[in-house]
């Protein structure tokens, strides 16, 4: 049975992961389309930058966010003074960190889905008189849909488990930035907290496994729906 503090960490994790995916998704769709359909100098470099969070230590990402959006950093100070937005030590900052770390999952899934589709469908729509915007909304976006769903669910599950970038950027504030992984870390550091840590670890494993299975099932169903 989860305690009130553990339920708080779970709900906060769900909130942060959902915000991270929702905020990153429009950018991921645009970047995935650009990488899949675009031909321009620097495309390989852009691809490398997009996937960099997959190979960088999450602590490095958290540190880069801290020196960029900290209240003493130029950008962070400007956001605070102009809009009253403070990302450090806040759940919104945790969502930003989770979005950056999981962004490659979104882009890769959407890109693979689009690259697997026949580009002739888009060309046929253009020959029938459809404009670029109409082609995107009526043809390209439905072709991306399996990747969007699979990528969003996978990124959501990964965001639930993010630790290094979040604790480095926004610290471990109870009720504000203490997500499930940070709650597990806190339990491990607390005398007699082994039982709570085991309980939270089992919950995290269950959520991650459920996310991966749901991602695959949803993507398959969408492919059958839009397939020939």
DSSP per residue, 102-135: HHHHHHHHHHHHHHTS-THHHHHHHHTT--HHHH
Q: What is the pLDDT of residue 162?
A: 94
The predicted-structure confidence for 1-47, as pLDDT tens digits, reads as follows 778 888 999 999 999 999 999 999 999 999 999 998 888 888 899 99
Show me where the domains of the chain are located.
Answer: 4-226
pLDDT tens-digit series, residues 131-160: 777 777 888 888 888 889 889 988 999 999
DSSP 192-206: T-HHHHHHHHHHHHH
Label residue 228 by pLDDT band (50, 70, 90): low
Q: What confidence score (pLDDT) does residue 226 get?
A: 61
Q: Do residues 176 and 91 lie in contact, with contact meaning Cβ atoms separated by under 8 Å?
A: yes
* pTM to 2 decimal places: 0.89
Name the nearest CA neighbour of 53 among 109, 99, 115: 99
Distance separating alpha carbons of residues 159 and 99, to the nearest angstrom: 7
- The 10s digit of each residue's pLDDT in 34-75 is 998 888 888 899 999 999 999 999 999 999 999 999 988 889
Question: What digits encode the pLDDT tens for the residues 86-131?
Answer: 999 999 999 999 999 999 999 999 998 888 877 777 778 777 777 7
pLDDT in the model for residue 171: 93
Report residue 227's pLDDT band, with 50, 70 and 90 as the boundaries: low
What CATH number is given for 4-226 in this structure?
Answer: 1.10.3720.10
* Alpha carbon distance 2, 4 (integer Å): 7
């Amino acid at each position: 049975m989860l305690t009130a503090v553990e339920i708080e960490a779970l709900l906060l994790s769900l909130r942060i992961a959902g915000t991270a995916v929702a905020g990153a998704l429009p950018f991921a769709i645009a970047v995935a389309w650009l990488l899949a359909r675009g031909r321009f100098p620097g495309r390989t470099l852009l691809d490398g930058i997009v996937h960099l969070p997959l190979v960088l230590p999450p602590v490095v990402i958290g540190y880069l966010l801290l020196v960029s959006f900290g209240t003493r950093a130029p950008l962070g100070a400007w956001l605070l003074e102009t809009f009253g937005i403070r990302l450090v030590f806040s759940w919104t900052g945790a969502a930003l960190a989770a979005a950056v770390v999981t962004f490659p999952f979104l882009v890769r899934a959407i890109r693979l889905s689009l690259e697997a589709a026949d580009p002739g469908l888009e060309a046929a729509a253009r020959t029938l008189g459809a404009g670029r915007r109409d082609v995107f909304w009526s043809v390209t976006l439905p072709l991306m849909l399996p990747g969007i769903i699979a990528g969003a669910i996978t990124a959501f599950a990964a965001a639930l488990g993010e630790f290094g970038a979040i604790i480095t950027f926004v610290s471990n504030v109870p009720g504000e930035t203490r997500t499930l992984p940070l709650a597990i870390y806190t339990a491990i550091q607390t005398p007699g907290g082994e039982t709570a840590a085991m309980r939270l670890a089992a919950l995290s494993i269950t959520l991650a496994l459920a996310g991966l299975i749901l991602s695959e099932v949803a993507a398959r169903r969408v492919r059958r729906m839009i397939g020939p």
